[in-house]
Structure 1
């Protein structure tokens, strides 16, 4: 919301008299604007509906609907986890079937993630992974387990991936052992771990390419990343929904497998012998 306020204030000299009246009303009532239609806002602020539309365009939107939708999105993002959960359970009749509701949320997250990731960038990431001498995966909290899954999946096909644990050596100490021929995969989702972001920053400073998995292009880790994979993680609980992240990990590993046919076949034959050994598996 603060970014919108700054834009409105910055453009004050460009407004007409009525647009200035509207701007003042919006700045004083920004939290309630997403609830108002164009006519409601016009009536409450004392200007015409046409002024509301023109004002939205001055701000850089196609019209008031786009402006309001942007405010709705920002308002949702600004809610605390407790407020989000409270808003969810207040609509009890809509959430009686948690199984289908959460499944719907995961599908929505996956579809939004597909829209925000570029196929060409995806192909470039695959190329960087194949060319890297070693691949190191990093994350804290739930992202630690995502990093371990990523490293495990890649190791099946590339045999040069590792998860940074941070148990014996700190992340900066481990980053200092990497070279520009290596690659760092950073998992960073809200609440963003400062240690993960600083590790990505150090890698970036040392010319080590960074590929990040995060929830938006403005996430702290993105500025230090050569490539960013966006995974939407909206959830009614405090924890991040992992469906879209799992989809991207699986897609990335599958693409690598399809481009490394000989290595994959050799690895699968080895695994096949192992899993068919009655000493280890039934």
Structure 2
């Protein structure tokens, strides 16, 4: 079966900015798009029908109708997980904020899992392990992701540094970047200019870039070698880092599991030092 979602993921970095907005909406709302007219989709995204048609042409469809039929067929074969989640949400009381918040995060994680492929994640692991130095950067709502990644990667491979983009004097650092270095940048709306500045300058130095962001319309996209799109919606006003934290946790776990020959010796040495200085609380 022809998979329009897979074709969209493979092509998305080659699309124009306006086409990426359409693609991002489709990836996040496939069930809705499967039954929208081209005019309705254009109105929701805020673009033209011509942009949508050109997008479908670039995916080798004869037009929006053929693309939509492929999407409908795909969703019919995958209907159970989506409809089950929707049914669960409908049964939640309006007053049960705790449950709604938890279900929202589960939905964010599930949607993120559907968008990011295993092949993409394996490319990220290879990029991390082949880099001389890794720099994780973010500000505000994305900062916990950068901090968590920095701790985990540094504990495993010892070459990772945290850069708080709006506080650190990264200009001096950027002068020493080269093609053997990797930047992992996390940013959600409203995207911080300093992160974009840092990433754009790093790209000029030929550093590799991985973006953890909410959509393919993010300003980080045009500088990125790999994009990890993570749903960041919350029930309130803020961006939620939960789905992206799951991605970060996967990367740390996958490196520890897939590269034991490169990580076990370091972990043993760290544990030896911590034991020697009696770092952990002992209640015996």
Asked whether the two chains share a fold, i.e. TM above 0.5, the reply is yes
Q: What's the counterpart of residue 225 of structure 1?
A: 224
Q: What's the counterpart of residue 235 of structure 1?
A: 234
DSSP-derived class of the 1:184 partner = strand
Q: What's the counterpart of residue 107 of structure 2?
A: 108
Matches within 5 A, 1:1-282: 60-61=64-65, 94-166=93-165, 169-277=168-276, 279-282=278-281
CA contact (8 A) 1:235 1:241 kept: yes
Q: C-alpha distance in 1, partners of 2:65/2:173?
A: 45
CA contact (8 A) 1:157 1:260 kept: no
DSSP-derived class of the 1:129 partner = helix
DSSP-derived class of the 1:263 partner = helix
CA contact (8 A) 2:188 2:214 kept: yes
DSSP-derived class of the 1:207 partner = coil
Aligned residues: 211
Tell me how far 1:166 sits from its aligned partner: 4.8
* CA distance 1:115–1:105, shift in 2 (3 Å): same
TM superposition outliers: structure 1 runs of 4+ over 6 Å: none
Tell me how far 1:207 sits from its aligned partner: 1.2
Q: C-alpha distance in 1, partners of 2:197/2:166?
A: 17
Tell me how far 1:280 sits from its aligned partner: 2.5
CA contact (8 A) 2:185 2:195 kept: yes
Tell me how far 1:126 sits from its aligned partner: 0.6
Q: C-alpha distance in 1, partners of 2:255/2:239?
A: 26
Q: C-alpha distance in 2, partners of 1:229/1:26?
A: 28
Q: C-alpha distance in 2, partners of 1:225/1:95?
A: 40
Q: C-alpha distance in 1, partners of 2:224/2:180?
A: 15
Which protein shows a greater Rg?
1
DSSP-derived class of the 2:135 partner = strand
Cα deviations across residues 229-260 of structure 1 (Å, max 9, x unaligned)?
Answer: 11111111122222211110011111111232
TM-score, with length taken from structure 1? 0.65
CA contact (8 A) 1:113 1:244 kept: yes
Aligned Cα root-mean-square deviation (Å): 3.2
CA contact (8 A) 1:171 1:195 kept: no
Q: What's the counterpart of residue 75 of structure 1?
A: none
DSSP-derived class of the 1:264 partner = helix
Q: C-alpha distance in 2, partners of 1:262/1:59?
A: 50
Q: C-alpha distance in 1, partners of 2:266/2:166?
A: 29
CA contact (8 A) 2:166 2:195 kept: no
Q: C-alpha distance in 1, partners of 2:188/2:168?
A: 23
Q: C-alpha distance in 2, partners of 1:177/1:222?
A: 23
* CA distance 1:141–1:167, shift in 2 (3 Å): closer
TM-score, with length taken from structure 2? 0.65
Q: C-alpha distance in 2, partners of 1:60/1:166?
A: 41
Tell me how far 1:277 sits from its aligned partner: 5.0
Instruction: Please list every run of 5 or more consecutive structure 2 residues that lacks an aligned counterpart in the other structure.
Output: 1-17, 23-36, 45-60, 72-89
Cα deviations across residues 17-67 of structure 1 (Å, max 9, x unaligned)?
Answer: xxxxx99x979xx57xxxxxxxxxxxxxxxxxxxxxxxxx99725669x9x
